[in-house]
Amino acid sequence: MEYYVLVKQLHMSAASISLLGFLVRGYWMIRNNPWLNAKLSRVLPHIVDTILLGSAIYLVIASKMYPLSVNWVTAKVILLIVYVIAGSFALKRGKTKTIRIMALLVSILTILSIFAIAGIKPALTFLS
């Protein structure tokens, strides 16, 4: 647990950067901006999300709060899966602009739910 606080700060920073990057790319999708398909726009999110995932794994192991044993962690993992799927439809796989925008809205609501759970987790400890 020596690095827990540092890794938690890294995780929260990466989550914020990831959300900001997703919102920018969502805006670019709506505006048909060619930057959405630029190499940096395709590579940088993977780097940030790898840092986010790696720090999450460290935090789960260090705190011993594993999915399926801690309900709010389980909820975050399920919402993360929904976010990734909806995000892929929003930025790439959606066949029409309407589908992409709807998927973008689902993605935004999902990630905000993940942030909300992270913010109120002490209040959710009675569920575990």
Average pLDDT over residues 83-101: 97
For 4, 77, 84, 100, the CA distances from 58, given in Å and listed in that order, are 8, 15, 20, 33
Tally of domains within the chain: 1
Going through the chain in order, the beta strands assigned E by DSSP cover none
pLDDT digits (tens, 9 = 90+) for 24-83: 999 999 999 999 999 999 999 999 999 999 999 999 999 999 999 888 899 999 999 999
Q: Pick from 29, 33, 50: which is nearest to 100 by CA?
A: 29
With tokens 């998927």, the residue in question is 103
Quote the pTM value.
0.90
CB atoms within 10 A of CB 70: 19
Range of the domain at 42: 4-127
